[in-house]
């Protein structure tokens, strides 16, 4: 193809192949979808029963809302939060999945290890159950408050209004070191915000093969170079591919480390499912 030439491996050269290769293939990992289960609770006690003298404190199971099921998913190699959330049609997408499992995943949503157990729907369950209990408790408190007001003498002076809660301070923007580690981490943050899968390990492995970590490398000898579109940067991207898969918010300079990594991972996700699935010429 005129914009995507086939790369050949160099002979003991620090340069590796360009990003685009029409003969390379890949497979997107099919994710298992685990069915959710639900449990129902008995209906809440009626107001008529309470007026007849029945205790207002209903059994716990009588005021517990129907509980949503929890799906537990075990991460396999090549997974990303985006792919898992999409495979389970999760409302809120990968951001919801990350929020529900942040304690298990850690601070980097782009880095999940095989074997990690993720709970899908856990927060929904807790929210549904808590909402029902709060509703029943609030109902009883409201009735008690009305009864107290009807028997208590009228206060001479109204109570002062409660002070408004102080606004939480804004989170400080993330900072990254100006080296290979920092470039990969910053790119992962951009990828997560744009739903592009990939892990630190998958990106680092391909960078070391393609450029040995040098963001200024240019391949001037292969078929792409002969066609006038040499491979450039950390992941050896040719200009037509960089422009087609450039991610908004990053530099338009293909030598920029973060822009180069992000565009390459966007291309790899489109062609192979994830940069993690790339182990050779791509």
pLDDT, tens only, 85-98: 888 888 888 888 88
φ, ψ at 191 (rounded to 5°): -60, -45
Query: Please, where are the H alpha helices in 101-159?
Result: 102-105, 122-151
What's the pLDDT band for 195 if we cut at 50, 70, 90? Answer: very high
- pLDDT reading at 56 higher than 50: no
N residues, the chain: 282
pLDDT value for 45: 39
The whole-angstrom separation of Cα 51 and Cα 31 is: 54
Calculate what percentage of the chain has a pLDDT beyond 70: 59
Mean pLDDT to the nearest integer, 214-236: 94
- pLDDT reading at 145 higher than 80: no
- pLDDT reading at 18 higher than 90: no
Mean pLDDT to the nearest integer, 23-44: 36
What digits encode the pLDDT tens for the residues 126-144?
A: 444 444 445 455 555 555 5
3-state helix, strand, coil in the chain (%, to 5): 40, 5, 55
With a CB cutoff of 8 Å and minimum separation 6, the contacts of 216 are 233, 255
- pLDDT reading at 51 higher than 50: no
- pLDDT reading at 13 higher than 90: no
Q: For residue 261, give Cα distances in angstroms to 24, 28, 110.
A: 19, 20, 14
Residue-averaged pLDDT of the chain: 72
The whole-angstrom separation of Cα 256 and Cα 282 is: 20
φ, ψ at 145 (rounded to 5°): -65, -40
What's the pLDDT band for 40 if we cut at 50, 70, 90? Answer: very low
- pLDDT reading at 194 higher than 90: yes
Cβ atoms within 10 Å, residue 249? 11
pLDDT value for 11: 42
- pLDDT reading at 103 higher than 70: yes
Per DSSP bridges, beta strands 71-74 and 117-120 are: antiparallel
pLDDT value for 139: 55
Q: Is-contact 79 31, C-beta < 8 A?
A: yes
Q: For residue 37, give Cα distances in angstroms to 40, 86, 87.
A: 10, 20, 18
What's the pLDDT band for 183 if we cut at 50, 70, 90? Answer: very high
Q: Residue 27 is encoded by which pair of tokens?
A: 């497979």
Query: What pTM was estimated for this model as a whole?
Result: 0.43
């Amino acid at each position: 193809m005129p914009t995507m030439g086939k790369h050949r491996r160099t002979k003991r050269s620090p340069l590796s192949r360009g990003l685009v290769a029409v003969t390379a293939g890949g497979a997107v990992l099919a994710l298992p979808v685990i069915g959710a289960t639900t449990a129902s609770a008995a209906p809440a006690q009626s107001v008529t029963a309470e007026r007849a003298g029945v205790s207002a404190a209903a059994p716990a199971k009588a005021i517990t809302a129907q509980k949503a099921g929890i799906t537990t998913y075990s991460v396999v190699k090549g997974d990303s939060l985006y792919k898992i959330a999409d495979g389970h049609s999760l409302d809120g997408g990968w951001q919801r999945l990350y929020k529900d499992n942040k304690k298990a995943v850690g601070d980097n949503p782009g880095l999940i290890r095989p074997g990690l157990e993720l709970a899908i729907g856990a927060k929904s369950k807790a929210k549904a159950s808590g909402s029902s209990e709060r509703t029943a408790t609030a109902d009883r408190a409201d009735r008690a408050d009305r009864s107290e007001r009807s028997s208590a003498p009228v206060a001479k002076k109204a109570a002062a209004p409660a002070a408004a809660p102080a606004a939480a301070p804004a989170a400080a923007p993330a900072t990254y070191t100006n080296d290979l580690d920092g470039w990969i981490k910053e790119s992962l943050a951009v990828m997560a915000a744009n739903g592009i899968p990939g892990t630190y390990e998958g990106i680092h492995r391909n960078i070391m093969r393609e450029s040995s970590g040098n963001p200024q490398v240019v391949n001037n000898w292969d078929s792409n170079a002969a066609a006038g579109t040499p491979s450039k940067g950390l992941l050896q991207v040719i200009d037509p591919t960089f422009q087609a898969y450039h991610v908004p918010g990053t530099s338009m300079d293909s030598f920029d480390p973060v822009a180069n990594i992000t565009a390459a991972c966007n291309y790899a996700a489109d062609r192979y499912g994830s940069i993690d699935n790339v182990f050779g010429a791509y």
